[in-house]
């Protein structure tokens, strides 16, 4: 635990957004392995970059190469994995970027914690909460298992990967996500369009 620490205030979020000419917020993908989180998140990131927005994707395995290389896949490590990602996403959002996260994030309580972190993230007394958009990429387990692009389900069924989400570890589906995408019925392009329409509808793509 850190003690004797004092928050040092800086300029307000709206001032920073004005200089950076965009609002910062977080788009949080959740869903089973192979549901399509990384595929849709990457297409969304590209689309937003083409439109001129600063967007940056934090993705499952990639983060485990560096920041979270010390963490495993047991429940406690998954909690800590998501806690750190949420903190990093919040920093990106606070610096007027669009943070896009694509992690299985199977536990409701962890996603709720990430959401609350954004809601409370006032770096300045005038700050509004940071928007947090949960995108549930929904796909029946059988379809995800049939896709199996990384061969992980096969390994999990053979008992070679312990605590694999959907097989030997739980996935707690969101009840009220801001956006739900059924990736067996929605193309990647349509998924991106749905998300962008949602962001436009909420006024998040303008100051």
* Contact call for residue 81 and ligand ATP (CB under 6 A): no
Q: Judged by CB under 6 A, does residue 180 bind ligand ATP?
A: no
Binding mask 111-150 for ligand ATP (x = CB under 6 A): ------------------------------------x-xx
Choose, from 12, 105, 183, 187, the residue flagged as catalytic: 105
Name the E strands within the chain: 25-30, 55-59, 98-102, 131-138, 179-182
Report the distance separating Cα 6 and Cα 52, nearest Å.
Answer: 36
> What's the angle, vertex CA 85, arms to CA 82 and CA 89, rounded to 5?
135
Active site residue 105: yes
Does 179 engage in binding with ligand ATP (CB under 6 A)? no
Residue 47 near residue 196 (C-beta atoms within 8 A):
yes
Segment interacting with Mg ion, rule: CB under 5 A, options 10-18, 36-44, 119-127, 179-187: 36-44
174 close to 108: Cβ distance less than 8 angstroms: yes
Interface residue with Mg ion, options 38, 96, 105, 165 (CB under 5 A): 38
* Whole-angstrom distance, CA of residue 176 vs CA of residue 134: 9
| Footprint on this chain of ligand ATP (rule: CB under 6 A) | 31, 33-40, 60, 102, 104, 147, 149-150, 183, 186-188, 191
Residue positions annotated with a catalytic role: 105
């Amino acid at each position: 635990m850190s003690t004797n620490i004092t928050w040092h205030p800086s300029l307000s979020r709206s001032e920073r957004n004005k200089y950076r000419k965009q609002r910062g917020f977080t788009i949080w993908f959740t869903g089973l392995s192979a549901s399509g989180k990384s595929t849709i998140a990457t297409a969304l990131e590209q689309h937003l970059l083409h439109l001129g927005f600063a967007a940056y994707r934090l993705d499952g395995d990639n983060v485990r190469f560096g920041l979270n290389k010390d963490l495993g896949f047991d429940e406690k490590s998954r909690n800590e994995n998501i806690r750190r990602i949420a903190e990093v996403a919040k920093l990106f959002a606070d610096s007027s970027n669009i943070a896009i996260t694509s992690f299985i994030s199977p536990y409701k309580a962890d996603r709720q914690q990430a959401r609350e972190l954004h809601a409370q993230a006032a770096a300045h007394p005038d700050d509004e909460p940071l928007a947090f958009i949960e995108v549930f990429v929904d796909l029946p387990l059988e379809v995800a298992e049939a896709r199996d692009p990384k061969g992980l389900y096969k390994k999990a069924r053979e008992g070679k990967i312990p605590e694999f989400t959907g097989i030997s570890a739980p996935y707690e589906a969101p009840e009220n996500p801001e956006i739900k995408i059924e990736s067996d019925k929605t193309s990647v392009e349509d998924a991106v369009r749905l998300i962008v329409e949602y962001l436009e509808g909420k006024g998040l793509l303008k100051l």
